[in-house]
Amino acid sequence: MNLNLKLRREIPLHIMILPALVLIIIFNYGPMVGIIIAFEKYIPTKGFFGSKWVGLDNFRYILSMPDIQQILKNTIVIAMTKIVVGLFIPVIVALSLNELGSDRTKRAIQTSIYLPHFLSWVILGGILVDILSPSSGFVNKILGSLGVEPIFFLGDNDWFQFTVIITNTWKEFGYATIIYLAAITSVDPNLYEAAIVDGANRWRQTWHITLPGMKTIIILMTVLSLGAVLNAGFDQLFNLYNPIVYETGDIIDTFVYRLGLIDAQFGPATAVGLFKSLVSLVFISVSYFLADKLAGYSIF
């Protein structure tokens, strides 16, 4: 085919991409240009390029805020705990489910455990606020009948992070379990037969066949979760926290929201957001690189 004809054949393909290209240039690359707000005393009516340039003032202002260290600490602690718990529990649940004899029970349990994944944090938040209430909540009623004093799970700084981790695990473990179960079912059944002939019991089969069979996907999930070191979960925190537990529950994202959209401190809020985006860029890039190197996974 000559070059001219080839080029002409390509034209429809470019036309197809064009709408998406225009949209991401406006709504994804536009905001990246808008990051200059972080270095400005931004006034919306003057626009991105008309506002006064203040250099690093916004960053200095942020660093001088008394709560900023605590917020960073909360973010990392919540995010990291979620990552670690989120890796172990689903693997264990998947292995346990695999040990169930009856397929019907297995499917019924699977169906139940990933239901919360599809409900939003607004719905789940509403439910949790209700059942965790210290006065009339279901959980505290049960604890009360066991003689335990009411616990204010969502209003006590000693309990808040714990509650956040547990409820997040509750929402998400079923979803991750499915991924591991899929890996288990793809293990070659001949391997088990060979192992049984060699006299291996169920534990040894799990240890020597099932787990190695899941190795790649476990590595992959671990590595990909690295990208979330600063994602403590805005949707969850925003729907569960309140001013009483800012001390343990305020994270970068909720802070940016309040500072930027409630207090209208656009410059400083953008500066905090930029910090998060930059750190995440590094971690996500590293995680994709490792996923490619260790698990042979490339996203495109």
Partner 1 sequence: MKKSKGRIFFEIYNYSILVSMAALCLFPMIHVLAVSFSSGSAAAAGWVSLWPVDFTLSSYTFVLEKADFISSLMVSFQRLFWGLIASLTITIITAYPLSKGKRDLRIRGIYIWVFIFTMLFNGGLIPTYMIIKETGLLDSIGALVIPCAVNVYFIILLMNFFKNIPKSLEEAAFIDGAGHWTTLFKIYLPLSLPALATITLFISVFHWNSWFDGLIYMNRPENYPLSSFLQTVVIQRDLTFITDTREIEMLSKVDGKTVKSAQIFLGALPILAVYPFLQRYFVKGITLGSVKG
Using CB under 8 A, pick the residue from 61, 159, 170, 192 that binds partner 1: 170
Q: Are 161 and 236 in contact (CB under 8 A)?
A: no
Using CB under 8 A, pick the residue from 65, 83, 109, 187 that binds partner 1: 109
Using CB under 8 A, pick the residue from 56, 123, 148, 194 that binds partner 1: 123
Contact stretch for partner 1 (CB under 8 A) within 52-60, 65-73, 145-153, 174-182: 174-182
Q: State yes or no: residue 97 binds partner 1 (CB under 8 A).
A: yes
Using CB under 8 A, pick the residue from 53, 118, 207, 289 that binds partner 1: 118
Q: State yes or no: residue 70 binds partner 1 (CB under 8 A).
A: no
Q: Which is nearer to partner 1, 79 or 295 (CB)?
A: 295
Q: Are 223 and 287 in contact (CB under 8 A)?
A: yes
Using CB under 8 A, pick the residue from 67, 193, 198, 235 that binds partner 1: 235
Q: State yes or no: residue 43 binds partner 1 (CB under 8 A).
A: no
Contact stretch for partner 1 (CB under 8 A) within 34-42, 62-70, 72-80, 155-163: 34-42
Site string for partner 1, 255-274 (x = CB under 8 A): -xx--xx----x--xx--xx
Nearest approach in angstroms of CB 248 to partner 1 is 19
Q: Which is nearer to partner 1, 190 or 298 (CB)?
A: 298
List strand residue ranges (DSSP E) for 152-227, in order: none
Using CB under 8 A, pick the residue from 43, 56, 122, 148 that binds partner 1: 122
Nearest to 83 by CA among 211, 241, 212, 233: 233
Chain mean position to CA 126: 20
Nearest approach in angstroms of CB 222 to partner 1 is 15
Q: Which is nearer to partner 1, 209 or 271 (CB)?
A: 271
Contact stretch for partner 1 (CB under 8 A) within 68-76, 157-165, 204-212, 234-242: 234-242
Kind plus residue range of the DSSP H or E element containing 52? strand 52-53
- Rounded to the nearest 10 degrees, what angle do helices 160-185 and 121-131 cross at? 130
Calculate the alpha carbon distances from 39 to 30, 46, 48, 223 in Å.
Answer: 16, 14, 10, 33
Calculate the alpha carbon distances from 100 to 80, 94, 96 in Å.
Answer: 31, 10, 7
Nearest approach in angstroms of CB 84 to partner 1 is 19
Report the C-alpha gap between 53 and 38 in whole angstroms.
Answer: 9
DSSP-derived letter for residue 158 is: T
**Of 201-220, which residues contact partner 1 (CB under 8 A)?**
202
Chain mean position to CA 69: 22
Kind plus residue range of the DSSP H or E element containing 53? strand 52-53
Report the C-alpha gap between 68 and 88 in whole angstroms.
Answer: 31
Q: State yes or no: residue 289 binds partner 1 (CB under 8 A).
A: no
Report the C-alpha gap between 48 and 37 in whole angstroms.
Answer: 6
